[in-house]
Amino acid sequence: MKKIAVLLSKNYKLLSVAAILDVFDTVNKFYANSNAAQFFNIKLLVAEDDISKYQEIFGYQTVGIQTDEIMDLILIPAFTTDNMPQTIQTNAPCIPHLIEQYNNGASIGTFCTGAFLLGASGLLNGKIATTHVDASNGFANAFPEVILKADRTVTQDGRLYTSGGATSSFHLLLHLINECCGKDMAVKIAKVFAIDMDRDKQSYFSTFQPSYSHNDELVAAAQQKIESNYHDTATIEELIKDIPSSRRNMVRRFKQIIGITPIEYLQQTRIEAAKKLLEQTGQQMTEIIFSSGYSDPKAFRKVFKKSVGMTPTQYREKFQVR
């Protein structure tokens, strides 16, 4: 029997916890229906003072985070927070125990933004990981030693597992079930939860959401310039030439605050504009390309596919509002 512990951290996302518990409970029901012992022993890993509260809410056995019992697998659900640094700081007391469990042989899996807590532990340094695609820039800036694969749905590096955002969590659950129980059980679960098993990328779900909650006037001016004039086929130097700062200083400040360079910001702004036109209009592809600030259709298609993970035509077929 595999011992699984779901970490109920501070600011956990209820939907993420519910998905994890539902999937593993369903596996156990399949075994029970075959007159076999349940495969997973599911527990909740919580702060010592929360044990009784969460046992009453969820009905599972709860154990304190400082337990001496070594788990086979610890799962960290997504967070629901607008302030990830503060959330990680609040959950910092969990980190030594996660490290201890890992060093004693436990595997650890994270769902969506739960990867931030594992990143803060240092266990992911030098290893591959993914997280919610819209949180990837923040993750990369916070944990530069982690090899982030932002477009991946699921990653595994040894005994460390991560998944992308939202429904990508189900793909990690399938991956874990396939490893523990075999492909036949993974297929059964995929059918029950209507999971498309062969999806391995999440980049086309991303939405460019730049930060404006900073107090750097030069960077804010550069953002405004780029967003107002992205459709002009001008260089980044031309777009921000009126801002009183050297190019080197602007690039440094911009990346430090926003997380990407001005040219990357321009590129993502243009691609986001193209995605909206593909979703919401019937414009010809050539018109969309030029409206998005590109003069070379071949270059546009190359950048679009690299950024989004599919061609513009494929994106339109998948997401156009009809």
Q: What is the pLDDT of residues 82-112, one digit of tens each?
A: 899 999 999 999 999 999 999 999 999 999 9
Is residue 32 domain-shared with residue 113, that is, in the same domain? yes
Asked whether residue 263 is domain-assigned, the answer is yes
Dihedral in degrees, nearest 10, Cα atoms 76, 79, 84, 88: -40
Q: What CATH number should be reported for the domain holding residue 193?
A: 3.40.50.880
Q: What Rg do the C-alpha atoms of the chain give, in angstroms?
A: 22
Q: Minimal CA–CA distance to 264: which of 320, 208, 317?
A: 208
Q: What integer best gives the mean pLDDT of the chain?
A: 91
User: Does one domain contain both 199 and 229?
Assistant: no
Residue 170 near residue 193, CB atoms below 8 Å: yes
% of the chain beyond a pLDDT of 90: 71
Domain containing 223: what range?
217-319
One domain, residues 180 and 40? yes
Locate all alpha helices (DSSP H) within 7-158, ordered by sequence.
14-33, 51-58, 84-90, 95-103, 115-121, 136-142
* pLDDT of res. 205: 67
CA distance 192 to 195: 8
Q: Does 123 share its domain with 56? A: yes
Q: Is residue 200 part of a domain?
A: yes
Residue 211 lies in a domain: no
Residues forming a β-bridge with 264: none
pLDDT at residue 58 in the model: 84
259 and 110 within one domain: no
CATH number at residue 270: 1.10.10.60
226 vs 236, higher pLDDT: 226
For residue 292, the SS3 value is coil
Residue 212 lies in a domain: no
Picking from 205, 237, 268, the residue at the C-terminal end of a domain is 205
For the chain, what is the domain count?
A: 2
Round to whole Å and give the CA distance between 152 and 56.
Answer: 36
What are the counts of helices (DSSP H) followed by strands (DSSP E) for the chain? Answer: 15, 9
Question: What percent of the chain is helix, strand and coil (3-state, nearest 5)?
Answer: 55, 15, 35
Asked if residue 232 and residue 139 are part of one domain, the reply reads no
Residue 178 lies in a domain: yes
What pLDDT does residue 56 have? 73
Structure tokens given for 172: 């990690």
DSSP one-letter string for 44-86: EEE-GGGHHHHHHHH-SEEEETT-SPPPSEEEEPPB--S-HHH
Please report how the helices 312-319 and 262-280 are oriented relative to each other, as an axis angle in degrees rounded to 10. Answer: 50
Percent of the chain surpassing pLDDT 70: 98
Classified as helix, coil or strand, 31 is helix
pLDDT of residue 204: 64
Question: The whole model's pTM is what?
Answer: 0.73
- Same domain (yes/no): 196, 245: no
Domain end point (choices 205, 238, 264): 205
The DSSP call for residue 61 is E
Residues 261 and 308 in one domain: yes
Residue 242 has a pLDDT of 83
48 and 193 inside one domain: yes
Find tokens 């969506």 and name the residue.
112
Tens digit of each residue's pLDDT (9 = 90 or more) over 187-213: 999 999 998 877 777 766 677 888 888
173, 205, 237 - which closes a domain:
205
Contact status, residue 196 vs residue 232, Cβ threshold 8 Å: no
**pLDDT value at residue 133:** 87
| Alpha-carbon gap, residue 84 to 27, rounded angstroms | 33
Collapsed DSSP state (helix, strand, coil) of residue 11: coil
Query: Among 20-34, 237-251, 282-296, 301-315, which is the least confidently predicted range?
Result: 237-251
- Shared domain for 227 and 166, answered yes or no, is no
Mean pLDDT for 77-81 is 95
Strand 2-7: give its sheet, edge to edge. Answer: 61-64, 40-46, 2-7, 73-76, 107-110, 160-163, 154-157
Confirm whether 287 is domain-assigned. yes
Lowest mean pLDDT among 59-63, 106-110, 194-198, 226-230: 194-198
Is residue 276 a part of any domain in this protein? Answer: yes
Burial class (CB in 10 A: 0-12, 13-18, 19+), 31: middle
pLDDT tens by residue, 141-162: 899 999 999 889 999 999 999 9
Residues 198 and 259 in one domain: no
Q: Residue 241, SS3? A: coil
Residue 293 has pLDDT above 80, yes or no: yes
**Is residue 65 domain-shared with residue 14, that is, in the same domain?**
yes
182 part of a folded domain? yes
